[in-house]
Amino acid sequence: MAEIKAIIFDLGRVLVDVKFNQQTAKFFGVDTDHPEDAAKILDAAFNNELFRKLNRGEISSYDFYEAFSRDFNLNLSYQRFVDYWVDVFAPIPGMEDLFWQVKKRYPVGLLSDTDELHWNYCREKFPFIKSVEKPTLSFEIGALKPDKKCYLKAAENVGFAPEVCLFIDDREVNVQGAKKAGMQAVLFEGVEKLKGDFKKLGIEV
């Protein structure tokens, strides 16, 4: 196994947490004390082609707002929609500190399936994310993980061959996609677990 030269992070549920049930409650008035109801609505609202088009950059944020509002009978101004849409991110305890420790020793990249509204919000709310010089964002490259194009572009943006890049993601399908593209990859299951994975891979932080 090649020595790791660069580390590439996913964004949501790796660098920062995502609280979609909170978002679902705001949009649809769902009681988050009943997570099974929220989960059903969440799946219908966000696991569909409209959402994927937004994340591939194929439609504008405003066009997404209009279509989303029409499909789910929402009566919100665009600004109120945006306020709800972006207010889903929270810190993961210990993650920012670990990120900075990694960045002191390795070039750091970012590969995320995201949209322009979420990305701009995260950069403002979590300034450490701004330190990634060439992030690889689905809405800019027109592709979603686990498309091989995503991983190759992320490796290019961090300046190393895929074989010496380590990718960290919270979804197994994306971890496997990275490996198929030639990267080394680990599943994110918490900060302490990631520290252990780093140690096994010879990454000193």
Give tens-digit pLDDT for 150-167. 999 999 999 999 999 999
The pLDDT, as a whole number, for residue 202 is: 95
Beta bridge partners of 67: none
Indicate the pLDDT class of residue 87, thresholds 50, 70 and 90: confident
Split into its structural domains, the chain has a count of 2
The pLDDT, as a whole number, for residue 27 is: 74
**Same domain for 178 and 141:** yes
Domain that holds residue 157: 6-17+90-200
**Same domain for 62 and 111:** no
What is the CATH classification number for the domain harbouring 99?
A: 3.40.50.1000
Nearest alpha carbon to residue 199 among 126, 117, 125, 102:
102
Indicate the pLDDT class of residue 88, thresholds 50, 70 and 90: confident
Q: Is residue 1 part of a domain?
A: no
Nearest alpha carbon to residue 51 among 28, 67, 70:
67
What is the CATH classification number for the domain harbouring 32?
A: 1.10.150
The pLDDT, as a whole number, for residue 75 is: 87
Cβ partners under 8 Å of residue 73, min gap 6? none
* CA 127 and chain centroid, separation: 16
